[in-house]
Structure 1
């Protein structure tokens, strides 16, 4: 049944000139039908540069919104209509507007894991891989950073000369990991390298051999020549691509690191969305243009 459904999806995709994008945290069967697998901004950039008329974004809402902001003339579909991001929901446009009024000299840097409304009120967007560079390059010593306080605190460590005002938001999956989880994992292997996503809080980051985004983690393991085992401290969906690129290496994960929203997308959702053109992302044009400015500034400041 699964293989038959995959064939139907691929046939429909070709017929409609669509492209299927999947985040690293999606289930293996969804990743297997994707044209491209990557992180949220990387996939939105691919969508913009691709000649497809329809973008099927297997991820969560803010990702599909970013793709629509960058590709207004393309149809963007989000197969799992209810796939949101709790961290993105922790930052609202109204609350950000109030904070901006209290810190009128501050520039706003928003993590790409934010709603289109928050992006529209921000000076620049960032990803986990370029956040440090963007904060270094932005022309202000005072920065409002939202919504992830853990990524923001990591950036503050790397850029101590700037004053970063942290939003009290976090990724529920990364934030629940504690130092003891790493200690227990290390007891199982003497030759264990710990790779941690910067969305984890400081006591966990302090135990890392490497801190980086999903893509950076995959690259690190692929290029590492040590005879090591790896503890991958991020959402477990990354293991599909990690193992595919490194079949002879041994990995450990923390089993409770599962994002329910990222796992909402099923093959049936992809097929139905593409067949019926369901769950299209619509963004009012003036809002889209304001959000676009923050994404374009990311390209400038992230160089």
Structure 2
């Protein structure tokens, strides 16, 4: 767990500031430090942990978060958390997933408006309609969905384990919802399986185009381009590598390209760059307005007031939990 540094009379929390100094100007740090100190204190008092998605801003990701990662990592780590309170610095479906896996713990999300265009693109009624239209076809639901949608599914997947999850079904035909582009990109890796799709898209990733990639390559010859699989397939085809945020991060750290473009949400590059100053990160990127609803101030407020508590309706909690647990049971090959 992150521990606070000494405030002294100079730069407050100097050890923590060193982690984000490339992205937070020194003149702004004294305004952030009081919230960080308060969060660190409140975590001890409440026996709380902060789970932060890779898209969180560096001042959250590198100073107050206890566990960071992509959706799959957060889901796996949430089960292991030894705490009474979980604060989810991410979006609402992630907090619901944490609650599903920790029904006896208090799960808080600092801003209830932190939603997701993918989660909004499909309802439980839609899934029941698909089940009736395609009887006997297993339904794999991306974790970027509500608990009500998960409850109508056979099992869940993330962008990091979609191929393994679909293979585990040993079925010739699978419904993969709701991200159309993730399903199409997964289809490319599994040509032997017919993957039926739903027309849901991520508002961050759907805006990237092949022209964006070609423009970057023209401006930066030799640059390495890494795309998230929620991007359109023609964008992925223009890239050098595609994977979940965890896979993107591992690729950069292991391959250490001199220049790299991460075709995803902007804070991904900021968070990797903070720990890898020798790698030059070129943008374009797109901001997720929902992820950016998280702030040090509202994380602090969540712990001070124990709001906003996330609950899952009992009529579908068990079925949704089972879909997530079946995903977690799938082992990578």
The TM-score by the shorter chain falls in which range?
Answer: over 0.9
Equivalent residues of 1:65, 1:281 under 8 A apart? yes
* 1:81-109 superposed Cα distances (whole Å, 9 cap, x missing partner): 11000111101100110111010020000
**Match of residue 237 from structure 1:** 267
* Structure 2 partner of 1:163: 194
Q: Which residue of 2 aligns with 1:199?
A: 230
Residues 41 and 63, structure 1, Cα contact 8 Å, conserved in 2: no
Q: Equivalents in 1 of 2:331, 2:314: separation in Å?
A: 25
Q: In 2, Cα distance between the equivalents of 1:25 and 1:204?
A: 20
The counterpart of 1:62, out of the listed 81, 93, 98, is 93
2:310 equivalent among 270, 277, 281: 281
CA distance in 1, matches of 2:50, 2:256: 33
CA RMSD of aligned residues (A): 1.2
Aligned mates of 1:208, 1:272 — CA distance in 2:
41
Normalised by the size of structure 1, how large is the TM-score?
0.96
Give the distance between the partners of 2:192 and 2:143, measured in 1 at CA: 23
Query: Residue 297 of structure 2 aligns with which residue?
Result: 268
Q: Does 1:249 align with 2:279?
A: yes
For residues 147-158 of structure 1, what are the structure 2 equivalents within 5 Å? 147-158=178-189
Structure 1: stretches of 5+ with no match in the other structure: none
CA-to-aligned-CA distance 1:181-209 (integer Å, 9 cap, x gap): 01111112111111010000011011111
Aligned residues: 301
CA contact (8 A) 1:138 1:301 kept: no
Q: Which runs of 4+ in 1 moved over 2 A?
A: 299-303
Q: For 1:48-100, what per-residue CA distance to the aligned partner results, in whole angstroms no more than 9, with x for missing partners?
A: 20211000000000000000000001000000111000111101100110111
Conserved in 1, the CA contact under 8 Å of 2:174 and 2:195? yes
Displacement after TM superposition at 1:241 (Å): 2.3
Is the partner of 1:263 in helix, strand or coil? helix
Kept in 1: contact 2:57–2:271 (CA 8 A):
no
Between the aligned partners of 1:201 and 1:174, the Cα distance in structure 2 is 8
Aligned equivalents of 2:98, 2:233: Cα separation in 1: 31
Structure 1 residue 18 corresponds to structure 2 residue 48: yes
Runs of 5+ unmatched residues, structure 2: 1-30
Moved more, 131-140 or 55-64: 131-140
* 8 Å CA contact 1:45, 1:67 repeated in 2: no
SS at match of 1:172: coil
Paired residues for 1:125-164 under 5 Å: 125-164=156-195
Residues 213 and 239 of structure 2 are in contact (CA less than 8 Å); yes or no, is this contact kept in structure 1?
A: no
Separation in 2, partners of 1:218, 1:100: 36
1:222 correspondence with 2:253:
yes
Distance apart, 1:33 and its partner CA:
1.3
- Structure 1, residues 98-132: CA drift from partner, whole Å, max 9, x if none? 11101002000001111101110111100101101
Contact kept, 8 Å, 1:87 with 1:169, in 2: the verdict is: yes
For 1:240 and 1:247, the matched residues in 2 are separated by 10
CA separation in 1, counterparts of 2:107 and 2:72? 15
Task: Report the counterpart of residue 294 of structure 1 in structure 2.
Answer: 323
- Tell me by how many angstroms 1:179 deviates: 0.6
